[in-house]
């Protein structure tokens, strides 16, 4: 029989901006199930969303919905919407370094995990190239124009947090492309193969072996990570910063304490990527097998050889963006590691999940489709 001692639980507040989105939803769930906290601590999760129609979905996942818009509502309106739920969240909204209510009278400096992405670094060489090196957190920044604003926003957040009046600790998180569930940009890969298989040109000769073709090089590096693993990395960073957890970056210093761990995280950038990268050879072979291409794959073909239905121009951001990303920094500090299968290893399950999300009208599917044709609006 369990103990009936009166040890009080200690809720911590996590506020997720865009909690109904693809990554935001996964992060919310990860904080709720966080197992890396000293007992009896737990996270109470709030989700900031723009539309009240999404509030029910959040509540069903035990995330407390807060309806407000950072882009259209006044700062005061957003603040009041959040403060109506919890005085502790005030620190996250106003970046206050002292939160008198809900924190036992102790000064609390909010920890902000700011999402950017590994495309901030640009591309690397192809697999097998003698000059191939991974992008680390110290790599030069060279993003495509479509994500430059996102990168600039993250850099500004780091700069503001580093001032005396900043009042908060900011960590920039750069994840590699995400797979799983509604697919994110890997959904575009599934769309490509499905459209290719269904195209009129593909089916002109029923006796000809069917070949899945790509304009990109076979050695293009596709380095991704499952969205659940990515979300767990956010929790690993938060837990390491808040408690005496993980592995110190300077074990020989004798300063392996919660304070030194937070100092090792605050103001830093952390990449999140899978334990190894895949190549287009691997991903292409998995797609070909999944969609019934009996003739295998072909690479470096001209655009004229791609069926119109496949709309190859939508896939170049997925198949033609070669990038190897190192995530050794977060692994060394927090002990985080990815556990879910690589995209090519579990493609059938990922396809089923994506098609179910598509049939259910998942917003992420529509968002990625728009972005693949150049519409990066909200």
pLDDT digits (tens, 9 = 90+) for 120-176: 999 999 999 999 999 999 999 999 998 899 999 999 888 888 666 667 888 999 999
Which of these, 338, 326, 223, lies nearest to 270 by C-alpha position? 326
Residue 1 has pLDDT above 70, yes or no: no
pLDDT for res 375: 67
Distance between CA atoms of residues 182 and 73, nearest Å: 29
Highest mean pLDDT (candidates 3-17, 29-43, 158-172, 183-197) = 183-197
Which of these, 215, 211, 217, lies nearest to 279 by C-alpha position? 217
Q: How far is CA 332 from CA 99, 163, 327, 337, in A?
A: 32, 28, 9, 10
Distance between CA atoms of residues 233 and 78, nearest Å: 28
Which of these, 159, 160, 182, 158, lies nearest to 170 by C-alpha position? 158
Please report which helix (H) or strand (E) contains residue 46, including its range.
strand 41-49
Contact criterion met (CB below 8 Å) for 120 and 136: no
Residue 319 has pLDDT above 70, yes or no: yes
Instruction: Please give the average per-residue pLDDT across 300-312, as a whole number.
Output: 83
Q: Which residues share a beta bridge with 169?
A: 111
**Proportion of the chain above pLDDT 90, given as a percent:** 49
In 10 A of CB 36, how many CB atoms? 18
What's the whole-number average pLDDT of the chain?
82
Instruction: Please give the average per-residue pLDDT across 180-199, as a whole number.
Output: 91
pLDDT for res 50: 85
């Amino acid at each position: 029989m369990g103990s009936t001692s009166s040890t009080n639980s200690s809720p911590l507040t996590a506020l997720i901006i865009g909690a109904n989105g693809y990554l935001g939803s996964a992060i919310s769930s990860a904080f709720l199930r966080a197992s890396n906290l000293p007992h009896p601590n737990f996270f109470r999760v709030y989700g900031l969303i723009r539309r009240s129609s999404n509030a029910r979905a959040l509540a069903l996942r035990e995330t407390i919905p807060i309806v407000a818009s950072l882009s259209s509502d006044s700062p005061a309106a957003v603040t009041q919407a959040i403060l109506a739920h919890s005085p502790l969240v005030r620190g996250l909204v106003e970046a206050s370094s002292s939160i008198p209510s809900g924190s036992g009278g102790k000064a609390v400096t909010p920890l902000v995990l700011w999402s950017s992405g590994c495309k901030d670094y640009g591309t690397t060489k192809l697999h097998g190239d003698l000059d191939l090196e991974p992008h680390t957190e110290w790599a030069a920044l060279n993003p495509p124009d479509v994500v430059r604003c996102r990168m600039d926003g993250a850099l500004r957040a780091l700069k503001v947090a580093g001032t005396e009046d900043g009042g908060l600790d900011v960590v920039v998180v750069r994840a590699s492309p995400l797979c799983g569930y509604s697919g994110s940009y890997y959904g575009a890969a599934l769309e490509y193969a499905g459209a290719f298989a269904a195209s009129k040109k593909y089916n002109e000769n029923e006796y000809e072996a069917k070949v899945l073709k790509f304009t990109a090089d076979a050695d293009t590096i596709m380095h991704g990570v499952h969205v659940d693993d990515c979300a767990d990395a956010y929790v690993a960073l938060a837990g390491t910063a808040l408690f005496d957890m993980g592995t110190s970056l300077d074990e020989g210093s004798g300063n392996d304490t919660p304070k030194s761990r937070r100092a090792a995280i605050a103001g830093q950038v952390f990449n999140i990527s899978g334990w190894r990268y895949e190549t287009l050879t691997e991903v292409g072979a998995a797609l070909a097998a999944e969609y019934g291409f009996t003739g295998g794959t072909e690479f470096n073909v001209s655009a004229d050889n791609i069926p119109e239905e496949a709309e190859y121009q939508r896939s170049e951001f997925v198949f033609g963006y070669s990038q190897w990303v190192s995530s050794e920094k977060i692994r060394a500090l927090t002990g985080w590691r990815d556990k879910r299968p690589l995209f090519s290893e579990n493609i059938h399950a990922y396809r089923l999940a994506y098609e179910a999300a598509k049939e259910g009208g998942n917003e992420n599917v529509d968002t990625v489709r728009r972005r693949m044709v150049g519409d990066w609006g909200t």
